[in-house]
Structure 1
Amino acid sequence: MLSKCFVLAVALFWSCQNSSNSKMLPEQKEETSSVVEIIEDRLPIADPYVLYHDGLYYAYGTRVSGFEVYISKDLKHWKRGEKLALSPSDSWGDRWFWAPEVYYVESKNRFYMFYSVDEHICVASSNRPEGPFVQQEKKPIVSEKAIDTNLFIAEDGTPYLYFVRFTGGNVIWVAEMGEDLTDIKLETLTECIRAQDRWERKQGTVVEGPSVLKRGDMYYLIYSANHFESKDYAVGYATATSPKGPWKKYEGNPILHRDMPAAFGMLGTGHGAPFVTADGGFKYIYHAHASENSVGPRTSYINDMELSADGVIRIVGDVIRPVVVR
């Protein structure tokens, strides 16, 4: 049975170009009287993240200056928000908007978007999951360069921020956050994992895109490795008995890679995030390369994610290939 903390963590943390051809497709069974117009035959975001809140799924990712939001009831059909979830004018920095993640923090009754801009990490907030998200004080969380944030709030209420520092390659670190979720306690900075295993070093010295969850007494750190332009960009995980580690990498890594059935022959599969679905199941959203010969525009896909009784994470099942509809 999932712990209260895990459920909370899940709720918080799990909690390109337009296609020139439009297509018509029947809606789901409960909407058989209508049709949907497909305006893009893919979900055109990289570094994707999904928040499930009040019966709707919200997807955010890397694509434009600022961040879009896509909204869905079924994970297959997504509508692009009419406005940006975060506009550059509401943020510090003016280039390289990457890897947004949005969490509903119940104690504050507010949504928080953590993201990277100009190779620094920032946070903005809103009273709605679709935004607009605004930085109350336009400055990075830390002064040094860093990317790829992930928030985890422990059972005792302590907020932890996982992110990538450039300390001998891309290395995942963690630190406790202040109560207002706008800064970190520098004295708590702790290294989590770095690229050391053979599968992690096929191109570059990179581990990135962390996602942390808890099940029972075990913490799981899901991450991606290799340069994102590598066809061997892939996903693995590590475990620990504390949110600050020490972390032990799973011996069966990677758990998502181009050679695995779940990847369905896709290349460069990675930098995703786990999330809970309406029925309480788990899924994992991630991006892949455009084709054999082109990295971009990267596209997002979704698979089932299982946590077995013996504590093993697996990404399995048929691939959901989301589309954007009008």
Structure 2
Amino acid sequence: MVAIIVLLTSATAQKKINPGEVWPDDKGNHIQAHGGGIVKIDKYYYWYGEQRRQGLDTGLRYVSCYRSKDLASWQFMGDALQLSDPEHLGSNWVLERPKVYFNRKTKTYVMYFHLDDARYKLARVGVATSNKPEGPFTYRESFRPLEKESRDIGQFIDDDGTAYLVFESWPTKGFFIARLSDDYLKVEKEVCLINAPLEGGAIVHYKGLYYAIGSALTGWNPNPNKYATAKSLEGPWSEFKDIAPPETNTYSSQSTMMLKVEGTKDTTVIFMADQWKPKTQWDSRYLWMPLQTGDGKLWLPEPKPWSIDIKTGKVQF
């Protein structure tokens, strides 16, 4: 009887997520999905990000794809995009912060990413598409969304299924929320400009309120990320407040997405962030933690190992 109890306990135990630690995939390699985003398709979560493993062809840029059923154990699905310089941008051209949307009407996976030259003067989004979540994705074009400069981008899909691109613009000293076209291939309409000099924009809708997180413009160096709230995406947005003790610099991380997991018993909002190591980018880490969210407040607890039951939405520490 004791053996059976131990077996059942082991079978139902949730694998821990360890913020800031090496995160091995199914092959034992540290996950390479930096500046990334997640989309859920049926029973799988797909995680896309910048592929920064050592030994890559320096003339190409790569976007990796992983999938998981529990957000803790990830299977490497390969490089969803391998792209040579698409716009004659020159050496050290930039592909950053890839985000993928699934368009259920067209059955197409649409990838957006920040595309730039080495001086960050191009300030465009690139678009690629695929008919499979793991790719290969085919490059289509680049443009400035709404004719505005775009660097850091984020993605947001509202509860009604409407898809939005979040993009940061230096000249306006803020970030835009813009609705995508029905086929997701264009940025159709400006919804709001959050007038604050922030990047790394992430948005979630939780219990009737929108929460937006951003980080200050300090390049690779972490800073105190901040949040604001609004009753609608159009605003008005509240003043920005710290999401963690400011002296921690958001525990040495930068926001990339807020992921909402709606279970049968609870809804959990996960703060997804990168801990960048610019000189050894392949060793950059991830800080994922469930946020304390509600009643217009948002707080990032001190990082520690945790797990989540995807079915119920409940978190354990």
Is residue 2:206 matched to residue 1:215? yes
Provide the C-alpha distance between the structure 2 equivalents of 1:93 and 1:213, rounded to a whole number of angstroms. Answer: 36
Alignment CA distance shift 1:168-1:140 (3 Å) = closer
Q: 1:74-104, CA deviations, whole angstroms, 9 ceiling, x for partnerless residues?
A: 433333223x212215966763110011223
Deviation for aligned residue 1:132: 2.1
Higher relative contact order (CA 8 A, sep 6+): 1
Aligned match of 2:284 = 298
TM value normalised by structure 2? 0.68
Aligned match of 1:134 = 138
Is residue 2:292 matched to residue 1:288? no
Provide the C-alpha distance between the structure 1 equivalents of 2:160 and 2:46, rounded to a whole number of angstroms. Answer: 28
Alignment CA distance shift 1:153-1:254 (3 Å) = closer
2:38 to 28, 50, 53: 50
Alignment CA distance shift 1:92-1:108 (3 Å) = farther
Deviation for aligned residue 1:68: 0.9
Write the letter of the residue equivalent to 2:298: I
Aligned match of 1:18 = none
CA-atom RMSD, angstroms?
A: 3.7
Structure 2 residues without counterparts, runs of 5 or longer: 1-8, 14-24, 53-60, 117-122, 308-317
Aligned match of 2:115 = 117
Contact 1:69 1:85 in 2 (8 A): yes
After superposing the two structures, state which structure 1 stretch, 274-283 or 122-131, moved more. 274-283
TM value normalised by structure 1? 0.67
1:241-260 matches, within 5 Å, as 241-251=231-241, 253-255=242-244, 259=248
Aligned match of 1:238 = 228
Is residue 2:84 matched to residue 1:81? no
Percent identity, aligned pairs only, is 21
Q: 1:226-270, CA deviations, whole angstroms, 9 ceiling, x for partnerless residues?
A: 31322x42322111223122321344x13376628xx6xx52x11
Deviation for aligned residue 1:115: 1.2
Provide the C-alpha distance between the structure 2 equivalents of 1:319 and 1:55, rounded to a whole number of angstroms. Answer: 27
Write the letter of the residue equivalent to 1:212: I
**SS at structure 1 position matched to 2:38:** strand
Contact 1:111 1:129 in 2 (8 A): yes
Q: Structure 1 or 2: larger strand share? A: 2
**SS at structure 2 position matched to 1:146:** coil
Is residue 2:65 matched to residue 1:69? yes
Q: What is the number of residues matched between the two proteins?
A: 266
Alignment CA distance shift 1:162-1:154 (3 Å) = same
Write the letter of the residue equivalent to 1:271: S
Contact 1:302 1:321 in 2 (8 A): no
Provide the C-alpha distance between the structure 2 equivalents of 1:193 and 1:43, rounded to a whole number of angstroms. Answer: 34
Deviation for aligned residue 1:141: 4.9
Structure 1 residues without counterparts, runs of 5 or longer: 1-27, 196-206
